[in-house]
Amino acid sequence: MLRSSIAPGRQLLSAPARQRIPSQWLSKAGASSRLSGQRFFADSKPPTPATPSSESAIPVESIPKPASQESKAAPASPATAPRKTGRFRRFLLYLILTSGFAYGGSIFLALKSDNFHDFFTEYVPYGEECVLYFEERDFYRRFPNASRQSNRIQGAPRDEGKSVTIPSKSGLSWNVTKEESGSDVSKSGPHMSSKAHDAQVKTEAAKPEEKNAAVIQAKEDKASNDTKKEDKKPVSLDEPRQPAVASSTIELLQTQAGDDGVVQELVKTFNDIVTVISADENSQQAKEELLKIGEKISAIRTEAAKAAQDEINKAHTTFDESARELIRRFEEMRETEVAQFREEFEAEREKLAGAYQEKINTELQRAQQLAEQRLQNELVEQAIELNRKYIHEVQGLVEREREGRLSKLNELTASVTELENLTTGWSNVIDTNLKTQQLQVAVDAVRSTLERAEVPRPFVRELVAVKELAAEDPVVEAAIASINPTAYQRGIPSTTMIIERFRRVASEVRKASLLPEDAGIASHAASMVLSKVMFKKEGLPEGDDVESILIRTEHLLEEGKVDAAAREMNGLQGWAKILSKDWLGDVRRVLEVKQALEVIETQARLQCLRVE
């Protein structure tokens, strides 16, 4: 399912891609004309030139194509050369047009943005010139007077033939004719110059529009000034005019340096008229007219001067007023500021004073606290000292009292303890006596049990009694410890029993008396048989042989010397010793017990003796 749904999709996807590639290629190769031709055939309609299909990257190219198509269709092949020239021309035309557009656009952009301006002027040929030209044009459009002013500045010294006196302070302002005007209008001169100067300063500081306005104003002022000057000149010329009438020559007005262009022109025309009229001798009426006109002009001038003067005065007064106002405001402001500062200063001082006061207070408090603390400490110390002294005194008193009266008590107690000791000593003596007696009784009991017994019997109880009565006597303890535990647990045989057993042992030992060291069964049998036929010795025989030792031991036993008998039997060797081992052990135990009992008895006796 999926595959079937995808498969056509894939075809659809792949188909336009495949188509687009050749179509692009064709359009690039200029074969779009062929395509359009096909469309033309299919639609039977002249192809619309501006079809913004996705394939045509350049719409401009599609515009001329139909024309070429038509030309191609119409003349087919005949003129290849004209077509070429036409193409070349078209190419040129497009080149020029595109470059023109490009330059125009880039100049526009350069005028708009600084970055592009830099780029354009640096990298594009003739870019800088173009931009400069347009900038200049713009500048002139903005300031149309700029060029004229420069002209005037250049032209002014040319026109004036005579020497120009430059006053000492000229150059600071534009007004060159300051002194001249000062001579004429002594009052208004400096004010005017100052006013003009103000205007100039304003122009320097202000924006171009304002500057223009200022310049115009300055010009007007100047014009008025010039008119005044012109006025003055005819007035001054009035005196020599009378003779000039006779000579019928009217003096020419002379233009001054720094005059306005209009005034110059006016003067020029007037001069021309004067020259014309003076040249004409017979036009007296015209002369008069002219003179009248001059008078009129002078009257107008005076009026104008008066009006100007008034205006100036008014302006002066307003200016003064405003200046005063300014000064007043300034002073007010200063006063307020001063007041404010004073206030602030007072506040600050108050604050500082408060802070210092606080600090001083705290320090004083601290010092007081410290002093109080110290005083308290001293007080406490004194109290402690007094207490100690008091205790010392009390102690001393008590001691003295004790030594005085209570010393007798000590003596009494000493005597009492002595007495106690004595009594205890006596009781001790009695106790020890009793103990020794009891001990002796216990030891006697042990002995009696041992001697009376028919068969070996344990005597643990008796021994325990002895031990208790001995009451940790080291000697008794050691004596009891020396007894083999088996002895008092199983009991010890009596002397008769030992002798009896010795008889049995002796017969056995005699049987094994002839055995060599490492004997087998044959030698044992031989010894058994041969021991039967051996002779028995009599009396107290000497020698180390088994028979003699046995006889001696028997004798000793009969005499009651058990320890000596044991010593004799200990001298046996080999099989004889092995056979008599148990008997020897018994004998040793008996001996141990006997010795221990003897020791205990002697100890008891010794204690009795020691007590007394």
Partner 1 sequence: MADSSETRVARATKPVSEALLNEKWDRAISSMIIKSSLGLSFGVVFSVLLFKRRAWPAWVGLGFGAGRAWEESDASFRRGDSPVRDALRR
Query: What residues make contact with partner 1 under the rule CB under 8 A?
Result: 455-457, 490, 504-505, 508-509, 511-512, 518-522, 524, 575, 578-583
Q: Would you say 152 or 457 has its CB closer to partner 1?
A: 457
DSSP 8-state symbol, 241: H
| Shortest separation between residue 488's beta carbon and partner 1, angstroms | 14
**Residues 478, 472: contact at Cβ < 8 Å?**
no
Contact 601, 443 (CB under 8 A): yes
Quick one: 346 or 582, whose CB is closer to partner 1? 582
The nearer residue to partner 1, 490 or 588, going by C-beta atoms, is 490
Q: How far is the CB of 605 from partner 1 (least distance, A)?
A: 34
273/453 with CB nearer partner 1 = 453
Rg of the chain over Cα atoms, rounded to whole angstroms, equals 83
Please name which of 391, 344, 401, 592 lies closest in space to residue 479, comparing C-alpha atoms.
Answer: 592
Q: How far apart are CA 547 and CA 573, in angstroms?
A: 12
Alpha helices (H) in 206-283, listed in sequence order? 208-246, 261-279
CB 264 within 8 A of CB 229: no
Nearer to partner 1, 524 or 588 (CB): 524
What's the rounded Cα separation, in Å, for the pair 517 and 503? 24
- DSSP per-residue letters across 351-386: HHHHHHHHHHHHHHHHHHHHHHHHHHHHHHHHHHHH
Q: How far is the CB of 579 from partner 1 (least distance, A)?
A: 5
Cβ-contact 109, 115 below 8 angstroms:
no
Contacts of 262 (CB under 8 A, 6+ apart): 223
From the number of C-beta atoms within 10 Å of its C-beta (0-12, 13-18, 19+), residue 41 rates as exposed
The letter for the amino acid at 575 is W
Cβ distance to partner 1 smaller for residue 481 or 521: 521
Tokens 């002194």 correspond to: 179
- The whole-angstrom separation of Cα 566 and Cα 587 is 7
**Shortest distance, position 495 Cβ to partner 1, whole Å:** 18
User: In terms of CB distance, is 131 or 579 closer to partner 1?
Assistant: 579
**Nearer residue to partner 1 within complex by CB, 182 or 456:** 456
How far is Cα 476 from Cα 466, in angstroms, rounded to an integer?
9
Which residues fall within 8 angstroms of residue 109, CB to CB, at 6 or more apart? 116, 117, 120
Q: Where are the alpha helices (DSSP H) in 402-454?
A: 407-452
Q: What's the rounded Cα separation, in Å, for the pair 485 and 487?
A: 5
- Whichever of 455 and 533 has its CB closer to partner 1, that residue is 455
How do the residues of the chain divide into helix, strand and coil, expressed in percent and rounded to 5? Answer: 80, 0, 20
Q: How far is the CB of 509 from partner 1 (least distance, A)?
A: 8
| Residue among 65 and 511 whose Cβ is closer to partner 1 | 511
Q: How far is CA 81 from CA 30, 84, 86, 286, in A?
A: 19, 5, 9, 81
Distance CA 210, CA 203 (A): 7
In the bound state with partner 1, the residue whose beta carbon lies nearer, of 125 and 520, is: 520
Between 9 and 520, name the residue whose CB sits nearer to partner 1: 520
CA distance 561 to 495: 10
Shortest distance (Å) from residue 528 CB to partner 1: 8
The nearer residue to partner 1, 122 or 518, going by C-beta atoms, is 518
Contacts of 301 (CB under 8 A, 6+ apart): 227, 228, 230, 231, 232
